[in-house]
Structure 1
């Protein structure tokens, strides 16, 4: 991702933030949001013809690089495996529970079995031992398919939004579902409190777009640093 692409993405993110405040700009907000979000998933599902940030990460991504933990970078020591799984879980639970009040993609198929992991939560506040286990055992292809399904579902949710919905607050019952379904650990109460203060537009601004953007960039930095050591 070059500087111009980064600048354009950030500019569109700012435009989307402005549009969420004005119901009359709903169609524009939806279009910009779909474009922002699609750039964070593989290009086969993208609205853009150019390569996406996710494509950039996955190009020539080797298994050893994917699983390496811990890593030594300024902003994270977690593996690419953990980051990809974490951002996908966050998108799944925030979009499908907090916004759509529906079933998580994780539970629409036997994704845990396919990914070969026991964790249903977001990955926040995990122990070193848990991150080590996830990084060493998770199935990359299954994780990528799960992420693809989550991305498709988010695009569908975006397409069903109605004017004024971006300003709607999150019902506490939906927050409670995060813990009832073990999407968040009890010790991650801080994250539920953070989301409970957001409106729907705010959840699209951070978990669905900016959060993925941040973690994908971390993954690319990890990948590039590990490649330099070879």
Structure 2
């Protein structure tokens, strides 16, 4: 098994969880927060998708699906196009009101672009530095694991929130 195969498998598992969580939920349920400081399913899915899109586009040297494919306009959220949700306030979380079709459409578009990129990843390429703002600088391998970790955690949180709301 190649490194890219392992990474593709990890991302496909996130996709499966998201489809299980989001499919069949109405807009109200997606936007409901278990309490006033909690994240909604819609925010969690939008945020993990934004992080994956932002971080992998940067590492892969391509334009984000969010802007390249018009998802910024289609989602119509009141945030800057570069916003990934990091550090959002409770009011900003509450502003994320998206349908299942919007959430899964954007996620699946990002996932498809992720698959294209990950098929190009080689063992040798994992040591390439992709972010020098950190000490130590972040390698491609570390960035890829970080994105998978973030996505898996938020997908699990969305599944938990769905259980709370059921």
TM-score, normalised to structure 1, is 0.65
**What per-residue deviation string (whole Å, max 9, x for no partner) do you get for residues 30-57 of structure 1?**
111111111111xxxxxxxxxx222321
What residue ranges of structure 1 are gaps of 5+ in the alignment? 1-26, 42-51, 173-191
Aligned equivalents of 1:145, 1:225: Cα separation in 2: 25
Number of equivalenced pairs: 164
Change (3 A) 1:85 1:101: same
Contact 1:92 1:105 in 2 (8 A): yes
| Residue 86 in structure 1 maps to residue 47 in structure 2 | yes
Please state how far the C-alpha of 1:193 moved relative to its aligned partner.
4.1
Change (3 A) 1:55 1:141: closer
**What per-residue deviation string (whole Å, max 9, x for no partner) do you get for residues 112-140 of structure 1?**
22112132211011222222222xx3343
- Give 3-state SS (helix, strand or coil) of 1:170's partner: strand
Of 10, 25, 29, 1:61 maps to 25
Change (3 A) 1:54 1:140: closer
Contact 1:115 1:140 in 2 (8 A): no
| Residue 125 in structure 1 maps to residue 65 in structure 2 | no
| Residue 29 in structure 1 maps to residue 3 in structure 2 | yes
Contact 1:61 1:223 in 2 (8 A): no
Residue aligning to 2:126: 166
Change (3 A) 1:162 1:28: closer
What residue ranges of structure 2 are gaps of 5+ in the alignment? none
| Residue 198 in structure 1 maps to residue 159 in structure 2 | no
- Give 3-state SS (helix, strand or coil) of 2:51's partner: helix
Please state how far the C-alpha of 1:225 moved relative to its aligned partner.
0.8
Contact 2:25 2:100 in 1 (8 A): no
Please state how far the C-alpha of 1:171 moved relative to its aligned partner.
4.7
Contact 2:27 2:99 in 1 (8 A): no
| Residue 106 in structure 1 maps to residue 66 in structure 2 | yes
- Give 3-state SS (helix, strand or coil) of 2:130's partner: coil
TM-score, normalised to structure 2, is 0.88
**What per-residue deviation string (whole Å, max 9, x for no partner) do you get for residues 180-224 of structure 1?**
xxxxxxxxxxxx648x732111111111x1111110110011101
Determine which structure has more spread, i.e. the larger CA radius of gyration: 1
Aligned equivalents of 1:80, 1:37: Cα separation in 2: 19
